[in-house]
Structure 1
Amino acid sequence: MCLLPAPALHAQTTTDRGSAPDRISYVSFRPGNWDLYYFEKPGSSPRRLTNHPDLDYDAAMSPDGRWVVYCAERHSNPDLYVLDLKKGGEPRKLIESPAMEDQPQFSPDGKTLVFVSSHSGNAEVYTIPFRPGTTQSMDKATNLTNHPGGDFRPSFSSDGRYIAFSTDRDTPPTGWAAGRQRVGEIYRMNRDGSNLSRLTTAPDWDGSPVWSADGKTIYYYARREGEQRIWAMNADGSNQRAISPKGLPALSPAPMNNGRVLFTVKKGGRETQNRGDRFTGSWQLMSIREDGSDLRAESDTLQHYWSPVFHPGTGAIICHGTGPAQNELPPSPAAIVVGSGPLLVPGSEFPARFDQRTATVYPLRTFTNIIHPFRNEVIHSVMPGPTLIKTDVAGDPTDTLLTIEPEQSPWFSAGWSANGEWVVYMKGRMFGGPETEADVWKMRPDGTGTVNLTPNSPGNDGFPGISADGSRVVFRSGRSGNYDVFLMNGDGSRPINLTNHPDKDAFPAIAPDGQSVVFSSNREGDRDPVTGERTYELYHLHLNPDGMPGTLKRLTDSPGQDAHSQFSPDGQWIVFASERGGINDEEPLVQDILFSPQMYGEICAMRLSDGKVIRLTHNKWEDGFPCWVGPVQPPAGQSTLVEK
């Protein structure tokens, strides 16, 4: 194929953005609504303790039975809150922090909380004095682990001298780029973080350690031969043994009175429909004697229940579970795999600041989405088909655009021109070899004018991005025998190979002025010890005036993957998904409960002038595919861009 020179690219936005915030949307595989539930005794009917439409989870009860500390996502990042079971009233935030605080447990005397926070950049174990009447700063907390690996689910021994926790520090993550996995082991340390001792060594996850009342036994779950069971071991790690039966996937042990252990089990199966594969059973509370006898159900099956805690003085149980149904989208890939709920969880949007500007950030519960450049509209996919629909950010449908044939993969990695005139998208298999057939398409935002921009090209064309004025489309293609970044005119003519490298280049985006491209590549990343593939990093390619490739600069050099980058409306920043913070909870507690193909994905932004990085999200969910657009504009001031 003859590659002809591309004309110079020019686009100027004359919309007055004023002081209105930009908007950033991203894909977030998170549940729709969780609440706390209180069982007065095992097997009784539960009482719902929280009624917020966002997520409340991971509760702990104070030794005197008065206080419940839990994690709530009411202000973008997960924070610790406290409820007074004696006097009632609204919950109070315990710690003020822009990071995540989660997984709390009380010391036996009730004076100290141990918890997990991403305050230092990754998941670490901290302690802080328990002061329910005030909101403290993370400056009052002590980091006990100080390790680049992830540390999770800490628990005090019954005498308060030791803390057990799980960690992924011993084995590097491995797997293909969109499915890297980790391994967790259990450690014990003194309550001040000293005298660290590893208790388990296994090829998969050991997690959620808790101590028996006499301090002689640690209960935990272990994943062996593909399923989790509840295990027990002596406090020094010896005499490890399974206590729950095979064939009953189990998580989150909690010691009860009379030698019983409470835990969560996954009961039921899966079914395959035209909407995909979905879980049809329930997560239920059960208990068993330590010798493996007398298995009992301790909850109903009307909703899911997870992460129980038992209070030995009152016999009460607190856990979290699915909350009341909210407004629903049409059946979508997200609803199949992460459960019911709205596109935008109420209250989950949050503000972010960059230099002298702000942006409102919207986590959207769907596989892919693109947000309109100057309206509060989103295009995303629903099943079967899939069908592309346009909704407002809250998920209220406005238009059905088109339906892709069932044998085609869902649309993926789309782009919206800044003048609002064109949408580009991929149609075909998103993964496979360079020769796997797929094409780049474009359409008008109302679903008309669909046209295949790469109809006669061999191989996999996809992951497109479109210039501000719609005159250029950047995309990934396998037509050269490698996965390279290409640039073509908005009508599909004059394709130019911009990268021409034997390694994999993907997820390109073009700057608003059309003069540069950002993309991901595994040409220089860290090599996976098992698969041999390298991780993805971000690159910035400047284009010459004729559209041909110019100077190439590597932007990131961080642990793990960096991908899915997009430019800010002024081209001075990029927003992207990153693995640099690791994971924030044990893999089975996320992946077994909801779909999460890759256990990483926080959203970050980088200023291109100096490489400054701002982390926007701190949570245990997979976040990816961000879009960054300007403020909402009234109809009279939408844009003065003219398509070239």
Structure 2
Amino acid sequence: MKENALVLIVILICSILFFSGCSDSIDKSDLENKIVPKQGVWGIYKLDLENEETSLIYSSSYELEGLNVDKSNKYFVFCQKIDGNDNEHREICSLNLDGSGFRRLTNNSYWDLYPVWSPDGTKIAFLSFRDDNLDIYCMDADGSNQELVFDSGFHDADIDWENGKIAFTSNSSICLINENGTSLVQITYPPKQGQWGSANLPFGDYDPRISPDGKEIIFSRLEDDESVHGNYNFFKISINGTGKTRLTNTGYSQGLTSWSYSGERIVFVVSAINDVGKYDIYMMDSDGKNYRNVTPDYFPDDFLCRSVIFSNDDSVLFFIGQWWE
């Protein structure tokens, strides 16, 4: 009996090792079969978080930036250079989620960028350089009725729209207004605000994103200038400006966060670590835990990820991809 039991144990162990080896082989083969589709230099991509499959939704030979998706998950809005590479050729465009129905929403000689959907999907806020500074404008979803919403007197940037509030960066700090442009409140007061060092931006706070429940804002703070790209960390603060909490202490060049719709996770791009360019997709829990690189291993080194956002069921990431040349 003991000998028979020993034989069975040996067979069982061999079976486990065999099938484990088969599993590893399948995983490696599956990884080798995955590719990042490529057409133009720029594209809007979809990454399935479960199987890591990547698909190309829209391709362009001109620069894309500032990707945003409406809450119904039907339409993208983004900035694209059209008919030229100067800043004045940046226009706001929209697109169906399947890549069809391209629509150019602005058509002028101004610098238009950084569009975001209103919570109900009927309007789009964006930045436009029409006078002395970048200011916050708003238009209907079809591009009509463009109007100035707010001019702080500084370059306004990094806008986000949630629960009747628009968060933005002004004078290197995080500010908040009502969606009609009233009731300006400065939310953060960063150390060395607006002072220039060796980085490509002055010290301060940038890229505010309001949580889905409208109660908190996550933002990035330029804390050091050892790297020309800037050394940033993420913080979280309540919508009324109290209870600031540090989420990271990496000092990477990181920013442009996006909340998951559940409010449990944050996705963002690390563009550089020290002076080494990356443009990888990272993720962390909303409390800063489980900070990790989620870029699939099969992504080539010359493929840069930008403007990453969640789908409304949190199963997919949409992002802008650039093939570095």
Q: What TM-score do you get using the length of structure 2 for normalisation? A: 0.68
Question: Does 1:409 pair with 2:91?
Answer: no
Alpha-carbon distance in structure 1 between the residues aligned to 2:286 and 2:54: 20
How far apart are 1:512 and its partner, in Å?
1.4
Question: Does 1:572 pair with 2:272?
Answer: no
Task: Note closer, same or farther for the CA distance 1:95–1:514 as it changes in structure 2 (3 Å cut).
Answer: same
Q: Counterpart of 1:571 in 2: which secondary structure? A: coil
Give the equivalent residue in structure 2 for 1:390.
94
How far apart are 1:424 and its partner, in Å?
1.6
Task: Work out whether residues 558 and 580 of structure 1, in 8 Å CA contact, stay in contact via their aligned partners in 2.
Answer: no
Give the equivalent residue in structure 1 for 2:232.
536
Give the equivalent residue in structure 1 for 2:305.
623
Task: Work out whether residues 559 and 579 of structure 1, in 8 Å CA contact, stay in contact via their aligned partners in 2.
Answer: no
How far apart are 1:349 and its partner, in Å?
3.3
Task: Note closer, same or farther for the CA distance 1:369–1:428 as it changes in structure 2 (3 Å cut).
Answer: same
Question: Does 1:604 pair with 2:282?
Answer: yes
Task: Work out whether residues 466 and 472 of structure 1, in 8 Å CA contact, stay in contact via their aligned partners in 2.
Answer: yes
Question: Does 1:560 pair with 2:252?
Answer: yes
Equivalent residues in 2 for 1:56-135, closer than 5 Å: 96=27, 135=29
Give the equivalent residue in structure 2 for 1:484.
173
Higher Rg = 1
Gap runs ≥5 in structure 2 = 1-23, 84-88, 194-202, 315-325
Give the equivalent residue in structure 2 for 1:378.
76
Q: Which amino acid aligns with 1:628?
A: F
Question: Does 1:421 pair with 2:122?
Answer: yes
Task: Note closer, same or farther for the CA distance 1:350–1:623 as it changes in structure 2 (3 Å cut).
Answer: closer
Equivalent residues in 2 for 1:182-581, closer than 5 Å: 338=41, 343-344=43-44, 349-353=46-50, 366-382=64-80, 383-384=82-83, 385-403=89-107, 405-406=108-109, 408-412=110-114, 414-428=115-129, 437-455=133-151, 457-467=152-162, 469=163, 471-478=164-171, 483-501=172-190, 502=193, 503-522=203-222, 524-525=223-224, 527-528=225-226, 534-543=230-239, 548-558=240-250, 560-579=252-271
Task: Note closer, same or farther for the CA distance 1:361–1:463 as it changes in structure 2 (3 Å cut).
Answer: farther
Q: Which amino acid aligns with 1:571?
A: G
Alpha-carbon distance in structure 1 between the residues aligned to 2:158 and 2:54: 23
Work out the number of aligned pairs and report it: 261
Residues 33-72 of structure 1 show CA distances to partners (whole Å, capped at 9, x for unaligned) of xxxxxxxxxxxxxxxxxxxxxxxxxxxxxxxxxxxxxxxx
How far apart are 1:500 and its partner, in Å?
2.1
Residues 386-410 of structure 1 show CA distances to partners (whole Å, capped at 9, x for unaligned) of 332222234323433222x32x334
Task: Note closer, same or farther for the CA distance 1:519–1:359 as it changes in structure 2 (3 Å cut).
Answer: farther
Residues 186-209 of structure 1 show CA distances to partners (whole Å, capped at 9, x for unaligned) of xxxxxxxxxxxxxxxxxxxxxxxx
Task: Note closer, same or farther for the CA distance 1:370–1:361 as it changes in structure 2 (3 Å cut).
Answer: farther
Task: Note closer, same or farther for the CA distance 1:454–1:616 as it changes in structure 2 (3 Å cut).
Answer: same
Alpha-carbon distance in structure 1 between the residues aligned to 2:292 and 2:230: 24
Q: Which amino acid aligns with 1:351?
A: D
Residues 455-495 of structure 1 show CA distances to partners (whole Å, capped at 9, x for unaligned) of 4x31111210000x4x10000112xxxx1110000000001
Alpha-carbon distance in structure 2 between the residues aligned to 1:607 and 1:377: 26
Residues 564-618 of structure 1 show CA distances to partners (whole Å, capped at 9, x for unaligned) of 01111122211111147789xxx9xxxxxxxxxxx32111221114612343314
Give the equivalent residue in structure 2 for 1:641.
none
Alpha-carbon distance in structure 1 between the residues aligned to 2:52 and 2:124: 23
Alpha-carbon distance in structure 2 between the residues aligned to 1:388 and 1:136: 38
CA RMSD of superposed structures (Å): 3.5
Identity of aligned residues (%): 16
Alpha-carbon distance in structure 2 between the residues aligned to 1:520 and 1:610: 13
Task: Note closer, same or farther for the CA distance 1:360–1:554 as it changes in structure 2 (3 Å cut).
Answer: farther
Task: Note closer, same or farther for the CA distance 1:504–1:446 as it changes in structure 2 (3 Å cut).
Answer: same
Residues 397-437 of structure 1 show CA distances to partners (whole Å, capped at 9, x for unaligned) of 3433222x32x33412x3223322332211129xxxxx961
Task: Note closer, same or farther for the CA distance 1:580–1:496 as it changes in structure 2 (3 Å cut).
Answer: same
Q: Which amino acid aligns with 1:537?
A: N
How far apart are 1:551 and its partner, in Å?
0.8
Which structure has more helix as a fraction of its residues? 2
How far apart are 1:444 and its partner, in Å?
2.2
Alpha-carbon distance in structure 2 between the residues aligned to 1:351 and 1:438: 35
Task: Work out whether residues 427 and 462 of structure 1, in 8 Å CA contact, stay in contact via their aligned partners in 2.
Answer: no
Give 1:613's match in structure 2, choosing from 276, 282, 291. Answer: 291
How far apart are 1:96 and its partner, in Å?
3.2
Task: Note closer, same or farther for the CA distance 1:425–1:370 as it changes in structure 2 (3 Å cut).
Answer: same
Alpha-carbon distance in structure 2 between the residues aligned to 1:579 and 1:388: 24
Alpha-carbon distance in structure 1 between the residues aligned to 2:111 and 2:73: 28
Task: Note closer, same or farther for the CA distance 1:461–1:494 as it changes in structure 2 (3 Å cut).
Answer: same
Alpha-carbon distance in structure 2 between the residues aligned to 1:629 and 1:498: 28
Gap runs ≥5 in structure 1 = 1-92, 98-134, 139-322, 327-334, 430-434, 588-598, 633-644
Task: Work out whether residues 91 and 111 of structure 2, in 8 Å CA contact, stay in contact via their aligned partners in 1.
Answer: no
Alpha-carbon distance in structure 1 between the residues aligned to 2:221 and 2:263: 20
How far apart are 1:369 and its partner, in Å?
1.9
Task: Work out whether residues 233 and 251 of structure 2, in 8 Å CA contact, stay in contact via their aligned partners in 1.
Answer: no
Task: Work out whether residues 92 and 112 of structure 2, in 8 Å CA contact, stay in contact via their aligned partners in 1.
Answer: no
Task: Work out whether residues 568 and 628 of structure 1, in 8 Å CA contact, stay in contact via their aligned partners in 2.
Answer: yes
